């Protein structure tokens, strides 16, 4: 066994540790670049006309950026209406889903009553139901209820399909909540409804932010339900509105890029503003105590 001078093994370990850290940062930087590249491509794509899109390399910088693509899609392309529809439909479905999921999770995890495991199992079965298999039954049901071409059909569909996932995320956090808080509230004469609204909901704000962003991404990017249930332009959302720029003989690629760029901005802003809360919410329910 070779003999090393005193302190050599420690220096070698420190060098190896630094090398490993450097390699890890290099890999992470490479992954970050790969994640950002599609966004850079979309920005450049949205500032080109059809000739530049079809005749130049994908990442070429346009000499004369066509900012008028954004103006045209917002004014003549009716994107402003689609954008507002996406905002308020997404917000309504998100609020309803998070509130109902919080009710269900609190009742299942913090209350003792017969059949709670069965009720929870019914909600979890919803995770195994494919969306496409429900289109015909939902269309028939909404048609009988006169909800076809009505935004309420989208809100109800989004809420129903997002409830199982939202409840599953909330379960671990609710199980980890200390019961001493509820016991102290009951000793002070707090009712169940008031305790849930004033104590439990504020304590679960971090995990609610996580479920909120999950629901927002699904609702904002959803296409199948909008394309099936909505036919009027006044109720269409951004995902369906992109089709307006695809014609039988010509396609306005710059307008499509501008529309896609507008559609992803809210998601990017939500991630930037709520990234810390999302990570906190994901890890909050993993450790009890």
Q: Which two structure tokens, joined as six digits, stand for 147?
A: 């909800």
Q: Which two structure tokens, joined as six digits, stand for 54?
A: 């079809």
Write down the pTM of the prediction.
0.80
Output DSSP code: residue 235. Answer: T
Whether residue 289 is predicted with pLDDT greater than 70 in this model: the reply is no
Predicted local confidence at residue 191, as pLDDT: 80
Q: Which residues are within 8 A (CB) of 44 and not within 5 positions of it... i.e. 6 or more apart?
A: 58, 59, 60, 61, 62
Angle between helices 68-75 and 79-110 (to 10 degrees): 80
Predicted local confidence at residue 2, as pLDDT: 52
Q: For 50-98, how does the pLDDT look when each residue is reduced to its tens digit (9 = 90+)? A: 888 888 888 888 888 888 888 888 887 778 888 999 999 999 999 999 9
CB atoms within 10 A of CB 46: 25
Closest CA relative to residue 265, chosen from 94, 83, 85, 58: 83
Phi-psi category of residue 114: left, alpha or beta, with phi > 0 → left and psi -120 to 50 → alpha: beta
């Amino acid at each position: 066994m070779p003999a090393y001078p005193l302190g050599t093994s420690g220096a070698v370990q420190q060098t190896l540790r630094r090398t490993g850290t450097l390699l890890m940062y290099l890999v992470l930087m490479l992954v970050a670049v790969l994640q950002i590249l599609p966004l850079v491509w979309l920005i450049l794509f949205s500032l080109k006309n059809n000739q530049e899109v079809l005749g130049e390399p994908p990442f070429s910088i346009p000499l004369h950026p066509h900012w008028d693509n954004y103006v045209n899609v917002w004014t003549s392309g009716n994107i402003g209406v689609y954008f507002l529809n996406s905002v308020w439909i997404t917000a309504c479905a998100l609020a309803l889903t998070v509130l109902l999921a919080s009710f269900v999770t609190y009742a299942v995890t913090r209350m003792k009553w017969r059949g709670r495991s069965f009720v929870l199992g019914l909600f979890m079965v919803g995770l195994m139901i494919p969306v496409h298999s429900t289109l015909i039954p939902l269309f028939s049901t909404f048609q009988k209820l006169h909800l076809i071409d009505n935004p309420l059909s989208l809100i109800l569909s989004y809420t129903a399909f997002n409830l199982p996932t939202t409840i599953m995320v909330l379960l671990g956090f609710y199980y980890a909540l200390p019961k001493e808080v509820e016991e102290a509230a009951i000793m002070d004469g707090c009712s169940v409804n008031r305790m849930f609204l004033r104590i439990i909901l504020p304590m679960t704000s971090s995990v609610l932010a996580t479920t909120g962003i999950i629901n927002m991404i699904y609702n904002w990017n959803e296409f199948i339900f909008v394309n099936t249930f909505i036919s009027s332009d006044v109720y269409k959302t951004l995902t369906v509105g992109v089709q307006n720029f695809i014609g039988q003989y010509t396609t306005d690629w710059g307008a499509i890029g501008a529309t896609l760029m507008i559609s992803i901005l809210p998601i990017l802003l939500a991630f930037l503003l709520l990234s810390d809360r999302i990570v906190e919410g994901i890890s909050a329910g993993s450790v009890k105590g």
